[in-house]
Amino acid sequence: MTTNQTWTRPQTTVVLAMSADGKISDVARSPANFGSANDKAHLENQVAQADGILFGAGTLRSGGTAMRVVNPELLKQRESLGKPAQPVQIVCSRTSKIDPQLGFFRQPIPRWLLTTSAGAQDWEGRPEFERILVTETSAGEINWNEAFQQMAQLGLKQLSILGGGELVASLLEADLIDEFWLTVCPLILGGATAPTPVEGAGFLSDQGKRLELLSAQTMEQEVFLHYRLQR
């Protein structure tokens, strides 16, 4: 896939389920468990194809655990490709205020933290994360270009991004998203403050990110949409 980046970075796919009115959670930011068994299988398949799974601390706090590969066929597929059983689960947070008692830290998965120098202080020398990636801008925010260079240097070629909307917005602004997989689920959530796939400040219409539809599939009551960013 061709991008306008002049340096090597992982290829990225956002994978999200949303309501018919474009919400990825309700106004209470409850765990997004409204997808069907078909959607969960689709999500696991996307996770199984990735070298790393990227998600924000808010998404982790909401769900408490990471999406693991448990399907025997998918595990066998990863083994046949010389990949470890589980992709690296990478939590992204500027402050890294994360409860170490979350079930996430008891799952048998590789865990990394992507943060700033300030966010790394509470976790350095502790066993919860196998690796801490530290990078920041002059304003103290995560430097996404540097972060993606670091991940590429560590052998991550394919990333699945599982939310939330603030993370997706930041990566879109940095031009680091390649594809979207969006599952449209048959319910209406509403709510002016309910999160959507892309949060942040938003884009004016003439600066909006244009997509190319690669496929659209209906399974029972859900629609699976696969898009590629136009560049």
User: How far is Cα 159 from Cα 178, in angstroms, rounded to an integer?
Assistant: 10
DSSP for 138-158, written as a single string = TTSS--HHHHHHHHHHTT--E
Instruction: List the one residue out of 64, 34, 72, 67 whose CA is nearest residue 50.
Output: 67
- pTM of full prediction above 0.75: yes
The per-residue pLDDT for range 65-104, each reduced to its tens digit, is 999 999 999 999 999 999 999 999 999 999 999 999 999 9
User: How far is Cα 179 from Cα 137, in angstroms, rounded to an integer?
Assistant: 26
Domains of the chain, start order: 11-229 (3.40.430.10)
Alpha helix ranges (H) inside 81-174: 117-120, 144-153, 165-173
CB 21 within 8 A of CB 197: no
Q: Residue 89: which residues within 8 A CB-CB, separation 6 or more?
A: 52, 53, 55, 66, 104, 109, 110, 111, 112
CB 9 within 8 A of CB 159: no
In this predicted structure, what is the pLDDT of residue 4? 45
Predicted confidence pLDDT, tens digits, the chain (231 residues): 344 445 689 999 999 999 999 999 999 998 888 999 999 999 999 999 999 999 999 999 999 999 999 999 999 999 999 999 999 999 999 999 999 999 999 999 999 999 999 999 999 999 999 999 999 999 999 999 999 999 999 999 999 999 999 999 999 999 999 999 999 999 999 999 999 999 999 999 999 999 999 999 999 999 999 999 998
In this predicted structure, what is the pLDDT of residue 3? 43
Do β-strands 179-185 and 222-229 pair in parallel, antiparallel, or remain unpaired? antiparallel
User: How far is Cα 44 from Cα 50, in angstroms, rounded to an integer?
Assistant: 10
Place of tokens 């925010």: 141
User: How far is Cα 2 from Cα 195, in angstroms, rounded to an integer?
Assistant: 31
CB 196 within 8 A of CB 24: yes
